[in-house]
């Protein structure tokens, strides 16, 4: 199976340990060659948690969510294309970069600038 989703796309996918779908933003650049249907993603929530990245109206390149939402860098996941329910839209690169950099800091990676 080849990858159909790209970095910055917001998709809905079953939430981890929950019986509902949640939005995630795909942050991986390239799929893993051994598992091309999987992506590294970060969960999106309507709850503003510590270090969350608010998604503003101007942060959408295409599409939107129906409620005020936040990218939660402390909620990374590997999601599978076969379980993706729908594509909601795509965010601008800057907000995805900000969330990915926050995720990196949360796991102890020092980024060079």
What mean pLDDT do residues 16-21 have? 88
Joined together, the tokens standing for residue 48 give: 């503003």
CATH of domain 9-106: 2.30.30.110
CA–CA separation, 6 and 96 (whole Å): 12
DSSP letter (8 states) at residue 32: B
Is the entire prediction scored with pTM above 0.85? yes
Q: Do 88 and 63 meet the contact criterion of CB atoms below 8 Å apart? A: yes
pLDDT of 29 strictly over 90? no
CA–CA separation, 27 and 42 (whole Å): 7
Domain boundaries in the chain? 9-106
- Give the model confidence (pLDDT) of 99-113 as tens digits: 999 999 888 887 776
- Give the model confidence (pLDDT) of 42-85 as tens digits: 999 999 998 899 999 999 999 999 999 999 999 999 999 889 98
80 Cα distance to chain centroid: 12
44 - beta bridge partners? 71
Query: Rounded to whole angstroms, what are the CA distances from 44 to 11, 19, 20, 53?
Result: 10, 16, 13, 9
């Amino acid at each position: 199976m080849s990858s159909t989703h790209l970095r910055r796309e917001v998709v809905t996918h079953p939430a981890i340990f929950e019986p509902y779908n949640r939005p995630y933003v795909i942050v991986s650049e390239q799929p893993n060659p051994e598992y091309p249907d999987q992506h590294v993603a970060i969960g999106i929530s309507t709850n503003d948690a510590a270090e969350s990245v608010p998604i503003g109206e101007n942060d959408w390149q295409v599409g939107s969510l129906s409620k005020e939402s936040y990218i939660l860098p402390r909620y990374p996941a590997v999601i599978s294309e076969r379980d993706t329910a729908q594509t909601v839209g795509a965010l601008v690169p800057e907000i995805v970069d900000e969330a990915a950099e926050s995720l990196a800091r949360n796991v102890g990676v020092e980024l060079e600038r």
